Structure 1
Amino acid sequence: MRAAEHAAEFAAAQWTRATGAGLDPHEYGRVTECLDAVADWGPAFRRTAGDYVERATAASSPVSAGEHLLTAARWFHVATLAPFAEADRAAAEADDALARALAVLEPSAQRVSGPGFTGWLRGPADAPGTVIVVPGLDSAKEEFLDLASALLARGLAVFAMDGPGQGVLRATTTMRADYHEVVGRVIDALGDPARIAVVGLSLGGYYAAKTAALEPRVAAAATVSGPFRLHWPELPQPVRDILTRRAGGAQAARAFADHVDLTHLAPRIEVPLLCVDGGADTIPGVTNVEPLARLAPRGTYLSVPHGDHLLGNARADWLPRLADWITQALTGASE
């Protein structure tokens, strides 16, 4: 396959994820149609993000500047989905753009950091519940801004985090199987709120489910496209490559993958648990999460038949429902 054809195939595979993260589909098409190789992906997306930073600098109002910076954060993050030399720098630029955007648009947002995590606490100080949003293998807090907005609109507080091997921490940390302990430190740092929910996306769904099983302060949890089990020999090579980079080596990556199995933890999840799958999300070596919903005592399963991984092509079919479900689970109030 010629390099340009490979780039087009990669762009097609990432389309719903990128647009689900908030990128304009028309601009996505304009940027990706000019790629001569996958190696051009990161630099092209980083340049586009830089254009939005320039727009923010030239904006005639603080609101416009903040909105441009939010868009820049999304483009900087999506730049990191293909390996390139400046990927760690792009992740740091995404973090900086988000920080600058919130400083303008939401000055009450608080940066909260600790051992193995960093992120933003947003929402009212007297919110009836706080939702910790956990990203996945190669995602970051900048990817799920629309999920955060949906939860904030329902009166909840949101802590969108990067954990070990994720986002701005990818350059200095590696992924770890005891991620639930990091979430415990997050809860400590947030002042141990009375009502906590954890929402995890992709591999973050595994982290969220494990946290719900082992962290007694969690009152509800949800997973989106999370794995129930990983089987290393069947995983596609691109997934193995990402695991290897984020785990710090092939041996550590295989050990991590072997650890991902919720069979014995699922029955220990006593809190309400919503498991969202896309019916078109079929990754070799990944067992989708239906067994988790079946084995968890209070599990609920939502399968969207046409949904792909992270269901960026089916947001209306799950995002409002998840946000309502989390609100009900934390407050007992119907939306």
Structure 2
Amino acid sequence: MSPTESPTTEPAAAETAVFAAAQWTRATGAGVDPHEYRRVTDALTSVADWGPSFVRTGQAYLNRAEGAGSSVSAGEYLLMAARWFHLATLAPYAEANRAAAEADRALSRALTVLEPGARRVSGEGFTGWLRGPSDAAGTVVVVPGLDSAKEEFLDLVSALLARGLAVFAMDGPGQGALAATTSLRAEYEQVVGQVVDALGVARIGLVGMSLGGYFAARTAALEPRVAVAATVSGPFRLDWEELPAPVRDIMARRTGGPDAARAFARQVDLASLAPRIAAPLLVVDGGQDVIPGVTNGEPLARLAPRGTCLSVPHGDHLLGNARPDWLSPLGDHIADALTGTRA
């Protein structure tokens, strides 16, 4: 041990390495460069450094955008900044809400530059961006999960846009840009109902990511304007007592405290709602996604009248390590139901 090294340095570094490895496929799945991710995380000495370091990386991309030689380059740098700012919120961080706001601003600036037709749509308990052709044959709403946000799933949005669909990627209560001012709520179908009203469409496709899978399935059971749905790594049921401490901590922060988190977890159970899902439903699960206290989506696919399960044996949570195995099939599932044809 060097004279300046504390006895806790090595354990802290080991903990940080474990945390960074656990977030690896999620971060690269979100679209950050894997080599840059390694450079940033290899330099961390504790998990407490995660947020500030990721924010600095995001700021570096904002600086690149300011000096970019073209509007396209500026927009691409801004999209990357949005990813890094969002990922800064994945570890406990006092400035997490500010980082989420920076992610939101960077995405807004990027879309203003790259897609002048994109439209910000906000209402009570939701905000997001509507992208794609104004005369699209169908509109898809993408719902994030416990600690994710609209900035995390840009590749999913791109896959849906490539099929000629309009896409509304949103933050709901307790999520992303709204995490600082609202709390998670189980009755997400009410939020999606307001989204559909605001978008002015007769029906939607709905995709839910992680806990967003529960929100999407619940909404598909209770909101008749959902014409097709898909879940990715969504829970069928939660058991509060078995959930890992970090998950419980995040849930407590996002719901307003431990008691609210326990009450929220008790509501996450699709046993009675799954048989009421009339729309075609694709349930995507990773075989390596094993989180204590979370049951996977197979029962949801089995109980839903038009449910199909796509299980990827080597996939982890959100299947960031298996994008080719599910992203295109999910896009086709949504597009086929909304348009009747494949782009």
| Length-normalised TM-score, structure 1 | 0.99
What is the root-mean-square deviation of aligned Cα atoms in Å? Answer: 0.7
How far apart, CA to CA, are the structure 1 residues paired with 2:165 and 2:76?
Answer: 22
Question: Which of 81, 106, 112 does residue 72 from structure 1 map onto?
Answer: 81
Does residue 293 of structure 1 match 2:301? yes
Identity %: 75
User: What is the letter of the counterpart of residue 32 of structure 1?
Assistant: T
Question: Which of 105, 114, 131 does residue 122 from structure 1 map onto?
Answer: 131
Unaligned 5+ segments in structure 2 are: 1-9
Question: Which of 12, 18, 42 does residue 9 from structure 1 map onto?
Answer: 18
Would you say the 8 A contact 2:58–2:81 is kept in 1? yes
Match of 1:275 in 2: 283
Task: For residue 195 of structure 1, report the CA deviation from its aligned partner.
Answer: 3.4
Match of 2:106 in 1: 97
Would you say the 8 A contact 1:31–1:44 is kept in 2? yes
Would you say the 8 A contact 2:196–2:203 is kept in 1? no
Question: Which of 140, 146, 159 does residue 137 from structure 1 map onto?
Answer: 146
Match of 2:184 in 1: 175
SS at match of 1:69: helix
Match of 1:315 in 2: 323
User: What is the letter of the counterpart of residue 28 of structure 1?
Assistant: Y
How far apart, CA to CA, are the structure 2 residues paired with 1:262 and 1:136?
Answer: 16
* CA deviation string 1:122-173 (max 9, x = no partner): 0001101000000000000000001000000110000000000000100000
How far apart, CA to CA, are the structure 1 residues paired with 2:93 and 2:285?
Answer: 30
Task: For residue 179 of structure 1, report the CA deviation from its aligned partner.
Answer: 1.0
How far apart, CA to CA, are the structure 2 residues paired with 1:85 and 1:50?
Answer: 17
How far apart, CA to CA, are the structure 2 residues paired with 1:195 and 1:174?
Answer: 27
Does residue 222 of structure 1 match 2:245? no
1:246-257 to 2 correspondences below 5 Å: 246-257=254-265
Match of 1:303 in 2: 311
Task: For residue 332 of structure 1, report the CA deviation from its aligned partner.
Answer: 1.1
SS at match of 1:333: coil
Match of 1:46 in 2: 55
Task: For residue 294 of structure 1, report the CA deviation from its aligned partner.
Answer: 0.1
SS at match of 1:131: strand
Task: For residue 329 of structure 1, report the CA deviation from its aligned partner.
Answer: 1.0
* CA deviation string 1:8-64 (max 9, x = no partner): 000000000000000100000000001000000000000000000000000011100
Does residue 206 of structure 1 match 2:205? no
Question: Which of 327, 336, 341 does residue 333 from structure 1 map onto?
Answer: 341
How far apart, CA to CA, are the structure 2 residues paired with 1:107 and 1:124?
Answer: 11
* CA deviation string 1:292-318 (max 9, x = no partner): 000000001000000000000000000
Would you say the 8 A contact 2:232–2:318 is kept in 1? yes
Task: For residue 325 of structure 1, report the CA deviation from its aligned partner.
Answer: 1.0
Unaligned 5+ segments in structure 1 are: none
Number of matched pairs: 334
Task: For residue 83 of structure 1, report the CA deviation from its aligned partner.
Answer: 1.1
How far apart, CA to CA, are the structure 1 residues paired with 2:314 and 2:236?
Answer: 20
User: What is the letter of the counterpart of residue 230 of structure 1?
Assistant: L
Match of 1:21 in 2: 30
How far apart, CA to CA, are the structure 2 residues paired with 1:162 and 1:143?
Answer: 11
SS at match of 1:84: coil
1:153-164 to 2 correspondences below 5 Å: 153-164=162-173
How far apart, CA to CA, are the structure 2 residues paired with 1:249 and 1:175?
Answer: 11
SS at match of 1:186: helix
Would you say the 8 A contact 1:45–1:76 is kept in 2? yes
| Length-normalised TM-score, structure 2 | 0.97
How far apart, CA to CA, are the structure 1 residues paired with 2:76 and 2:273?
Answer: 41
How far apart, CA to CA, are the structure 2 residues paired with 1:28 and 1:224?
Answer: 24
Task: For residue 194 of structure 1, report the CA deviation from its aligned partner.
Answer: 2.9
Task: For residue 331 of structure 1, report the CA deviation from its aligned partner.
Answer: 1.0
User: What is the letter of the counterpart of residue 11 of structure 1?
Assistant: A
Would you say the 8 A contact 2:216–2:231 is kept in 1? yes
* CA deviation string 1:184-234 (max 9, x = no partner): 00000001x133111000000000000000001110100000000000000
User: What is the letter of the counterpart of residue 91 of structure 1?
Assistant: A
Q: Which runs of 4+ in 1 moved over 2 A?
A: none
User: What is the letter of the counterpart of residue 184 of structure 1?
Assistant: G
